[in-house]
Amino acid sequence: MSDNPFEVTKAVDFTDAQIAATWVDLPGGGFVTLADPKSPMPTFLVGGKGGGRTHLLRYFSYALQRLRHSEDLLAGVQADGYLGIYFRCEGLNSSRFAGKRQEAETWEAVFSYYTDIWLARLTVDLIADLRMTVPSQFDRDDLTGFAAAVLDLFDVDVTMSQDAGDPAHDLSATFERLQRDLDLAINNAALTHELDVRIGASPGRLVFGVPAAAARHLPALSGIVFAYLLDEFENLTIDQQRYVNTLLREKELPTTFLVGSRLFGLRTHATLSAGEENRQGSEFALVVLEDAYRAQSHQYGSFCSSIVLRRLHESGCEVGVRMRLDDFFEGPANDEQSLEERAALRVAEKTSQDPGTRPWLERLRQQLQASDHGYELSDVMSAVTFPKSPLHEKFAVFLLYRAWADGEELSGAAASVRVAVNGLLSGEEKSGKVATSYKHYRHDLYAQILNDLRLPQEYFGFREFVQMSGYLPRNLLVLLKQVTRWSLFLGEQPFRGDKVSLRAQREGVREASAWFLSDAKGLGRVGEETQFAIRRLASLFREMRFSDKPVEVSCSSFSTDRQGLSPAALNCLNEATSHSLILEVPNGRRDKNTHLLNHKYQLNPMLAPLFDLSSALRGSAVFTTADLNAIFDPAVSETQYEAVKRRILDRMKAPFFAKVPPQDAFKFE
């Protein structure tokens, strides 16, 4: 066992036994309330990478049923009420079914037949395995009847293989032969330009016919639902998905489907059934795992805790049921230490050589001198200086910038600021406007202090990691993997006596963040362009956060009605959303003026450390259509983008020349 309990972050890297061992159900009703393999309603289980789809589908699979019911497999399956026929669409190598100088319609027919053979083979293999495991429950005559019924499903004569002397295994060998013949014909078409395939059964007949024949001829499987668990649906092309959609639409009992797909992978709900489109709630149910987690965010936290505790337990770490995971991670020197005390400590450490020098005061001084406020310099500077509490001092400077931006007379404003901040320090001001403002901005102001002192931003603690995961448990595991690696590298014994140091946490989250950005990149040029747009957006949020007068608290989100966005910008925004680089916040945000409900988007909090942002969802930026086009439209040049960025930031930087947002700088067709 590795020293790092989080070395494996993907369900595909687990064996069946490990899937069983690391399984954690969702608090409350469990995953079965989201996706039930017995449900007659076909269900799409979609989400970002690492949401837990594969773990869940494999948990429902026959291989896991075997492990769970090792003592009496058949009784276990009967109690479950279903047989989980799991497969990854990737295994079809779907790109073979295109080109090679064949018509699209030809490939459509060949793919349909190949998929039917593939699914039927999986089902027959599973029944053969069940027969071998519990031979007493399967009468030979019943199996012979089953095999004959399956062969009857073909429109052509299919000779049954007679190698094994057992009907189930002979049937299995027959399907293997049929598939092999198809493979050779499909593969050779690239070289010969000929596709010598004879379609032996009408579409769907085998997919539904084999389970029906099993239910009819094999008493042990009577009443059992055959659940096809299709994972990695995104690997199929739009035409191929259309065929699977047709199977969902034409579904016949005792068959059902659970289909796992990435968000971007659901390319169509169209079918081959006279062009009909499947409708959610009618032909299929749709579960977005992240939305389900987000809807019960408190339960998501405890779900994550359970996953991590299970991992730690499996790797031999001593963990109690009531263990607080935050206890494994070092926090500030003293857990009770306030943000104000931490700020004072950081400033003292960094400016010990020259205690009077604080970068924000120096910057303010220069800005005042450079503008026409030089005559007020002395009054203003002394009013905003609070050497004993750098965080309050930062707040005083922030309030002064606000007044400056509003065109107030600065000496008077500075005097008012001093009174207000003194009120905060003395405790007289606890619930007023100033106190509320301080409460909102203090974390950003602390981040600014760190930035001004050229100190790294602080990300620590299990709760913060859960927040950063963006409702994708795999992100949490990658974070913990990198943090644990750093901890081990620094000579610590994480989860085995030592607390994980702040440095290990900081370095680990940064690496995990960089990994996330590159890992979430989609295929093709749009993937590259989206990465570029995300860098623009995140860098802009960073500059806003560290500006003189940030207008929003911990800004990492924006809202838009999407009207007026160029097609390329929309495409890029959709790509970012479907690859979880940006999360769409359910229910959106109501526009302050029009009261219309807009889309609200949050930069994935996994990216926060890479761009020195807050991982919390707080403030939302107000971007114009032109701003968003400049960020997301790849046709917008760097020069044009820089102009837009400067216009946005000028409102937040002294001397605050741009008070009113101008009209759209660029027009898009």
Residues that bind other proteins (CB under 8 A): 2, 7-10, 12-13, 15-16, 63, 86-88, 90-91, 93, 95-96, 99-101, 118, 121-122, 125, 179-180, 183-184, 186-187, 190-191, 193, 232, 478, 515, 518-519, 523-528
DSSP 133: H
Q: Which is nearer to other proteins, 100 or 542 (CB)?
A: 100
Give the shortest CB-574-to-other proteins separation in angstroms.
Answer: 17
Distance, CA of 277 to CA of 148 (rounded, Å): 35
The CB-of-81 to other proteins minimum distance in angstroms stands at 22
For other proteins, the closer of residues 4 and 556 by Cβ is 4
Q: How far apart are CA 117 and CA 199, in angstroms?
A: 10
Long-range contacts of 250-253 (CB under 8 A, 24+ apart): 250/204, 250/208, 251/40, 251/42, 251/208, 252/208, 252/212, 253/40, 253/212, 253/225
Q: Which is nearer to other proteins, 125 or 627 (CB)?
A: 125
Smallest gap from Cβ 184 to other proteins, in A, equals 7
Nearer to other proteins, 101 or 279 (CB): 101
Q: How far is the CB of 220 from other proteins (least distance, A)?
A: 22
Task: Identify which of residues 340 and 519 has a Cβ nearer to other proteins in the complex.
Answer: 519
The partner residues of 158 in beta bridges, in order of sequence, read none
Angle at CA of residue 267, ends 232 and 566, nearest 5°? 130
One-character DSSP codes across 3-49? S-TTS---GGGS-HHHHHHH--PPSTT-GGGT--TT-SS-EEEEEST
Helices (H), 524-589: 524-545, 567-578
Mapped onto helix, strand or coil, the DSSP state of residue 244 is: helix
Which among 72, 230, 217, 89 is positioned nearest to 147, based on CA atoms? 217
Those residues with Cβ within 8 angstroms of residue 272's Cβ, 6 or more apart along the chain or in another chain: 108, 203, 242, 243, 246
Shortest Cβ 14–other proteins spacing (Å): 9
> C-beta of 61: minimal distance to other proteins in Å?
9
Query: How near is the Cβ of 492 to other proteins at its closest, in Å?
Result: 21
Q: Cβ of residue 181: shortest distance to other proteins, in angstroms?
A: 9
Minimal distance, residue 502 CB to other proteins, in Å: 24
> What CA–CA distances, in Å, run from 460 to 62, 335, 550?
40, 12, 24
Buried b (16+ CB within 10 A) or exposed e, 170-199: bbbbbbeebeeebeebbeebeeeeebebeb
Nearest residue (CB) to other proteins, 63 versus 555: 63
**Three-class SS state of 288:** strand
Smallest gap from Cβ 183 to other proteins, in A, equals 4
Q: How far apart are CA 576 and CA 564, in angstroms?
A: 18
Closest CA relative to residue 414, chosen from 396, 390, 394: 396
Query: Which residue's CB is nearer to other proteins, number 86 or number 328?
Result: 86
To other proteins, the closest distance from the beta carbon of 481 in angstroms equals: 8
Q: How far apart are CA 160 and CA 146, in angstroms?
A: 12
- Lookup: tokens for 454: 């050229």
Query: Least distance (Å) from other proteins to the CB of residue 91?
Result: 6
* Residue whose tokens read 């620590």: 460
Burial of 462 (0-12, 13-18, 19+ CB in 10 A): buried
Query: 18 or 436, CB closer to other proteins?
Result: 18
Residues 6+ apart with CB under 8 A from 266: 44, 46, 233, 234, 241
| Cα–Cα dist 579/636, whole Å | 22
88 vs 373, which CB is nearer to other proteins? 88
Shortest CB 513 distance to other proteins, Å? 12
CA dist 590 and 593 (Å) reads: 9
Q: What tokens appear for 663 in the block? A: 């009209």
Closer by beta carbon to other proteins, 393 or else 507: 507
Q: From the CB of 467, what's the least distance to other proteins, in Å?
A: 21
Distance CA 314, CA 437 (A): 46
Which one, 571 or 598, has the nearer CB to other proteins? Answer: 571
CA atoms of 238 and 561, how far apart (whole Å): 28
Which CB, 11 or 621, lies closer to other proteins?
Answer: 11
Reference 467, options 324, 292, 604; nearest CA is 604
Nearer to other proteins, 122 or 197 (CB): 122
